Amino acid sequence: MEKIKIGIIGCGGIANGKHMPAIRKLDDVEMTAFCDIIPERAQKAAEEYGTSDAKVYTDYKELLKDERINNVRILTPNKWHAVMSIEALYAGKHVMCEKPMAINYREAQEMLKAQKETGKLLTIGYQHKFDPDVVYAKQEALKNTFGDIYYAKANVIRRRGVPTWGVFTQKAEQGGGSLIDIGTHALDIVLYLMDNYKPKMVLGTTYDRLKNQKECANPFGPWNAENYDVEECASGYLVMENGATIILETSWALNTTDTASIRYMICGTDAGADNYNGKFKINGVCNNKQYITEPDLSTGGVAFYKGNETSPAIQEQRTFINAILGKEELVTKAETAAVVTQILEGIYISAKTGAAYYFNR
Ligand SMILES: NC(=O)c1ccc[n+]([C@@H]2O[C@H](COP(=O)([O-])OP(=O)(O)OC[C@H]3O[C@@H](n4cnc5c(N)ncnc54)[C@H](O)[C@@H]3O)[C@@H](O)[C@H]2O)c1
């Protein structure tokens, strides 16, 4: 059977770190088109991951004319997500775009419109939904183990971890800093577990208090304050239409030892779950005693696919390809990713105005 052909737009960090190695593990697809404004990057990707007849482009519009490919990955800085996704959808391609969906809600809505008008698939690269603990928690949520989830926390806290490659510290390119870059993942997980995409209001704060400090001690190398106009720390107090609360905290740099990669806590009427201290636990009350269960996520019980198709990055690609083949539903639907972007925007607006932001006014 002929393999499904994929085009890669943006051959930088996430292309090399996540998408291309994962796609290579699937036996029914191949990468035949690569684009980057830096031609050597596209060329190198084509040589390392492409078919022998792979084409290399520096203009994504040219790649989108390539009739061999029916789906693309959009792996460029955030300001390109909407424009490229929309053009790709109208060019007849299914799209997996990296997170965040867009730099603002208006653009996310335009992407949704293009998706609906074309009938093509659009998904966003929130691969942490395939982490074993999140998969397990979601299965429990679907069984209603937690009851009504009305209180939650989501955070990603780096003591120092400002991404200094690419354009991450530039607002015009990315739309924001730590919140839109990493906070977005934690928020996405909590909304997914709560299955609640109706925000009512948010109170947000953002900070860039450390960027002028000369001694960075940044693992990704020193940052350049002159090229740095985004927040390094943000928080949001979010209230949903049904009264549920989500507290979101995120930082690329903060003077704290309470660091976490992606941490969440969900609290329902019947039970709760959290992944604090690197351990996934479910808590509740049973036989008039408090209990905590700690599932063994290292066993094969949560793996969806045979063989070595088990990493979150591979499952993300597998799910998208299966959705193209009509075999499976998308896990990250564009409608829900748009709400993540809407909430992030609400936090930015609230931080700027100093007032709570109401989503439906
Ligand atoms: N899912 C995750 O966990 C995760 C992690 C890191 C980055 N990302 C996302 O991936 C995206 C890219 O981040 P990155 O770390 O790969 O950045 P990067 O700077 O390493 O790579 C981006 C690439 O896009 C290329 N590019 C820029 N403009 C282009 C254009 N108009 N046409 C074609 N190529 C263009 C750049 O030359 C570069 O090679 C961002 O949106 C980021 O939020 C997601």
Separation of CA 281 and ligand 1 centre (Å): 34
> How far apart, in whole angstroms, are the C-alpha atoms of residue 125 and residue 138?
18
Is residue 304 over pLDDT 90?
A: no
Tokens (6 digits) for 140: 């429990």
Separation of CA 291 and ligand 1 centre (Å): 44
Q: pLDDT above 70 covers what percent of the chain?
A: 97
Residue nearest to atom 34 of ligand 1 (CA): 36
Q: Dump pLDDT digits (tens) for 162-214.
A: 999 999 999 999 999 999 999 999 999 999 999 999 999 999 999 999 999 98
Is residue 360 over pLDDT 70?
A: yes
Q: Dump pLDDT digits (tens) for 131-162.
A: 999 999 999 999 999 999 999 999 999 999 99
Separation of CA 75 and ligand 1 centre (Å): 5
The HSE-up count of residue 236 (CA atoms within 13 Å, CB side) is: 36
Quick one: which H or E segment has residue 323? helix 312-324
> How far apart, in whole angstroms, are the C-alpha atoms of residue 270 and residue 281?
14
Residue nearest to atom 15 of ligand 1 (CA): 13
Q: 307 pLDDT band (50/70/90 cuts)?
A: very low
Pocket test for ligand 1, best of 56, 59, 63, 98 (most atoms within 8 A of CB): 98
Q: Which domains does the chain have, with CATH numbers?
A: 4-125 (3.40.50.720), 129-310+339-358 (3.30.360.10)
Kindly report the pTM of this predicted structure.
Answer: 0.95
Separation of CA 144 and ligand 1 centre (Å): 38
First-to-final CA distance of the chain: 52
Q: Dump pLDDT digits (tens) for 96-111.
A: 999 999 999 999 999 9
- Using a 6 Å cutoff on CB, does residue 40 contact ligand 1? no
Contact 281, 292 (CB under 8 A): yes
Separation of CA 28 and ligand 1 centre (Å): 25
Pocket test for ligand 1, best of 75, 86, 182 (most atoms within 8 A of CB): 75
Q: Dump pLDDT digits (tens) for 225-262.
A: 999 999 999 999 999 999 999 999 999 999 999 999 99
Can you tell me the mean pLDDT for 18-45? 97
- Using a 6 Å cutoff on CB, does residue 142 contact ligand 1? no
Residue nearest to atom 40 of ligand 1 (CA): 77
- Using a 6 Å cutoff on CB, does residue 129 contact ligand 1? no
Can you tell me the mean pLDDT for 336-359? 98
Residue nearest to atom 7 of ligand 1 (CA): 14
Longest CA span, the chain: 66
Q: What is the reported pLDDT for 158?
A: 97
Q: What is the reported pLDDT for 298?
A: 78
Q: What is the reported pLDDT for 303?
A: 54
Q: What is the reported pLDDT for 145?
A: 98
Residue nearest to atom 14 of ligand 1 (CA): 13
Atom index in ligand 1 nearest the CA of residue 100 equals: 43
Q: What is the reported pLDDT for 1?
A: 82
- Using a 6 Å cutoff on CB, does residue 131 contact ligand 1? no
- Using a 6 Å cutoff on CB, does residue 175 contact ligand 1? no
- Using a 6 Å cutoff on CB, does residue 166 contact ligand 1? yes
Contact 295, 274 (CB under 8 A): no
Is residue 306 over pLDDT 60?
A: no
Q: What is the reported pLDDT for 154?
A: 97
Q: 127 pLDDT band (50/70/90 cuts)?
A: very high
Is residue 90 over pLDDT 70?
A: yes
